[in-house]
Structure 1
């Protein structure tokens, strides 16, 4: 996480998100929720995902991001996403582009 820009920590700019998954059962084939929390506003978004498999998590997040790309400039709404270094997020680095940066947090980091 030390690679993440220090201005993100100030919470003065909208567009920096933290992502996690919420599971009801310990089975990777059950539906999960992807929770996104925006750091400045504390806006909370929950996305239903068909499983905790990395492919499904990436696809669900990509569909959410594409809704912005079709309506407003993505850079205004989603600049960075910080994720745990967990298997379900293994493929989301492929979503990175010139506007969106993905950061992987170390376990137990603040």
Structure 2
């Protein structure tokens, strides 16, 4: 139990602990149950505090995720990407990352941006698309953050752009999961 608790204190997820240390011996669901019953002396964010309100604004135009081709959901065809921006939790700097993940291969790219402006995001998208063959870009799917208001210029580049529903990060789960890992490290 002490080894398990030490891994949790090192911010290992129950899935990581089971996959690397306890495969076949314990279920990650059991570890979560123990955590929620306070069996460990580990601080947990049980239901995160309300985030600060978005001050940069959002927009409600563009194609909905429900209009995406079915092949995107099946993840059988290369060239469908999810994108987002990741800001430091410390808030000491305006610098952040534009993150991109290709859904079939799970190819993940993070490009540093000076800020979360639409111009910075557009430059990051141009940087990504200039280093990978054009055929590798069929669609982009993003949230409706203000930095994504450059979507029309991206569509002019020949890439269809779709937007997830508000407050539905699960619709872009691959990108959100990778962004969580990036924040962890």
Q: Measure, in 2, the Cα distance between the counterparts of 1:23 and 1:11.
A: 27
Aligned residue for 2:160? 101
Question: How many pairs does the alignment contain?
Answer: 104
Q: Measure, in 2, the Cα distance between the counterparts of 1:98 and 1:26.
A: 33
Q: Measure, in 2, the Cα distance between the counterparts of 1:80 and 1:44.
A: 15
Consecutive unaligned residues of structure 1, counting only runs of 5 or more, are none
Q: Alpha-carbon deviations, 1:39-83, whole Å to 9, x = none?
A: 111111111111101111112212221233xxx3x12x1111101
Distance apart, 1:26 and its partner CA: 4.2
My pick for the range that moved more, 16-25 or 57-66, is 57-66
Aligned-pair Cα RMSD in Å? 1.8
Q: Secondary structure at the match of 2:66?
A: coil
Aligned residue for 2:26? none
Aligned residue for 2:95? 31
Relative to its length, the structure with more strand (as a share) is 1
Structure 2 counterpart of 1:67, from 111, 127, 131: 131
The structure number with the bigger radius of gyration is: 2
Change in 2 beyond 3 A, CA 1:98/1:46 = closer
Structure 1 counterpart of 2:82, from 18, 23, 26: 18
TM-score of the two chains, using structure 2 as the length reference? 0.52
